[in-house]
Amino acid sequence: MLYNPYIRYVKANYLFLLIFLTSASAFSQNNFVSDEEFNSKITWLEPHEVHLEFRDVLRKIPGAKFEFINNNNQLRTSSSLGWLVDGILYYNYPQRLYASQVRYVEVVNSILQSNTCQCSLIIKTAVNEKELNSRKNILNRLNKNRIEKPKKKKKKKKKKKN
């Protein structure tokens, strides 16, 4: 049996690479929000709107300027560059995207951000806790489960009598 140092070198590098990739993938997993957890925190749809497509419920989102003709063709406005759904850019509305699947909606208003992503609406169907509670998530504003904090009553100052 011949001894070849190159084979030993390749085996060591392969083993190191395998261990590195396994450990890196194990620690880079995001903890996505489950359906039950999302529904307990945010309720933004009426009961009859749960099974509708997202484009039919789009009218509830402030700042989304999309108009539809015959529910099939999208009338393009100057602000409608496209939809970014889970990292995929759609120039027309995405087919079979139901309103109950949507977890994050962001309307792109700034020119700089719209030039970088080339979209006017960012939609995500799987989010982590940080994205769910983000200020940019419009669904937080539409939330019906939001607990209103009681306003503090102002104390009246008493006038001093001389």
pLDDT band at 12 (very low <50, low <70, confident <90, very high): confident
Mean residue pLDDT across the chain = 78
Q: For residue 154, what are its two tokens?
A: 């102002």
Query: Does 86 have pLDDT greater than 60?
Result: yes
Nearest CA among 5, 1, 98, 97 for reference residue 50: 98
Tell me 34's DSSP state.
P
Single pTM value for the model: 0.65
Q: In what order do the strands lie in the sheet with 104-107?
A: 88-90, 83-85, 121-124, 104-107
pLDDT interval class at 77 (50, 70, 90): very low
Confidence class for position 125, pLDDT limits 50, 70, 90 = very high
Judge contact between 120 and 76, C-beta under 8 A: no
Share of the chain above pLDDT 90, in %: 7
For the stretch 95-122, pLDDT in tens is 888 989 999 999 888 877 777 788 888 9
As a whole number of angstroms, the longest Cα–Cα distance in the chain is 110
Q: What amino acid is encoded at 64 in this protein? A: A
| Residue 5: its H or E element | helix 5-27
The pLDDT score that the predictor gives to residue 121 is 87
